[in-house]
């Protein structure tokens, strides 16, 4: 675990903790390895732990009564998930599965709650981090309900750009169908929007590698997409 401490410390959830607090929190944590597409937990399972991704990627998803999958979130190395359920002491509301070979740190909920009860300051700092995550989820809901498919795809590409960059080369690390599900669009719609952006000279595409020639132009296209009636 020692080799993972620096990585864990950089996660937003833990960034406000003192070194000794983090060490106490991870005292009974353990590493877990998942193969690509292996399920970590299912909807309704007892929430016995939450997780930090050391390597790889994880998708959180739900299944409709018809068996259709809706991706709720795509998580990459350096992110945490499952932590909100800890405070409820309940069951996981989603499925979690690896998108690639993945290494996790599994943090038992009982130890986590005990440490928080002993340190109110630590609890408040972690709640602040969770609040930021909640705001992001609210923004995601707004995008799914108010934005066109074109706006969602353009917004996703813009979110991958380094802050302040005028142009950017990005690599979609997961299958495009997974991204489409996360954005609430059909795979063919996702591909159609990419084709439109390519035709307008806003991006070039080579497999999962996308070059954004002018970030400001793409942002303007996104902002005008609804008004222009584009899908």
Confidence grade of residue 175 (pLDDT, cut at 50, 70, 90): confident
End-to-end CA distance of the chain: 47
Find the mean pLDDT for residues 136-158.
Answer: 74
Per-residue confidence (pLDDT) for residue 152, from 0 to 100? 87
Per-residue confidence (pLDDT) for residue 218, from 0 to 100? 93
Find the mean pLDDT for residues 164-185.
Answer: 88
Which has more pLDDT, 111 or 55?
A: 55
pTM over 0.95: no
Q: What is the DSSP string of 176-195?
A: HHHHHHHHTS-HHHHHHHHH
The rounded percent of the chain whose pLDDT value lies above 70 is 84
Per-residue confidence (pLDDT) for residue 225, from 0 to 100? 61
Give the HSE-up count for residue 19: Cα atoms under 13 Å, Cβ half-sphere: 4
Q: What is the pLDDT of residues 81-93, one digit of tens each?
A: 988 787 666 889 9
* All CATH 1.10.10.10 domain ranges in the chain, comma separated: 147-225
Q: What element of type H or E holds 97?
A: strand 95-98
Rounded-to-integer distance, Cα 127 and Cα 116, Å: 11
Find the mean pLDDT for residues 163-167.
Answer: 88
Indicate whether 24 pLDDT > 90. Answer: no
Distance of CA 216 to the CA centre of its chain: 24
Indicate whether 229 pLDDT > 50. Answer: no
Kindly report the CATH number that applies to the domain delimited by 2-144. 2.60.120.10
The class that CATH gives domain 147-225 is mainly alpha
Per-residue confidence (pLDDT) for residue 14, from 0 to 100? 79
Largest alpha-carbon pair distance within the chain? 58
Residue 47 to residues 80, 91, 108, 208, 212, Cα–Cα distance (Å)? 14, 5, 9, 34, 41
Q: Are 13 and 81 in contact (CB under 8 A)?
A: no
Residue 150 to residues 83, 229, 231, Cα–Cα distance (Å)? 32, 10, 5
């Amino acid at each position: 675990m020692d080799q993972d401490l620096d990585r864990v410390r950089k996660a937003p959830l833990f960034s406000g903790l003192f070194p000794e607090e983090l060490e106490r929190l991870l005292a009974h944590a353990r590493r877990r390895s998942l193969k690509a597409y292996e399920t970590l937990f299912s909807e309704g399972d007892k929430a016995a732990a939450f997780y930090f991704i050391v390597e790889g990627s994880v998708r959180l998803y739900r299944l409709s009564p018809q068996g259709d999958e809706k991706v709720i979130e795509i998580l990459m190395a350096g992110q945490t998930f499952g932590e909100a359920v800890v405070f409820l002491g309940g069951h996981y509301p989603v499925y979690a599965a690896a998108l690639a070979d993945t290494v996790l740190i599994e943090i038992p909920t009982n130890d986590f709650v005990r440490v928080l009860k002993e340190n109110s300051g630590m609890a408040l700092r972690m709640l602040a981090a969770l609040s930021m995550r909640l705001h992001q989820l609210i923004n995601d809901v707004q995008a799914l309900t108010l934005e066109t498919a074109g706006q969602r795809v353009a917004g996703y590409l813009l979110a991958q750009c380094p802050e302040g960059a005028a142009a950017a080369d990005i690599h979609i690390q997961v299958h495009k169908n997974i991204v489409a599900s996360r954005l609430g669009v059909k795979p063919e719609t996702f591909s159609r929007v990419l084709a439109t952006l390519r035709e307008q000279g806003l991006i070039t595409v080579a497999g999962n590698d996308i070059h954004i020639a002018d970030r400001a132009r793409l942002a303007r296209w996104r902002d005008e997409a609804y008004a222009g009636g584009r899908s």
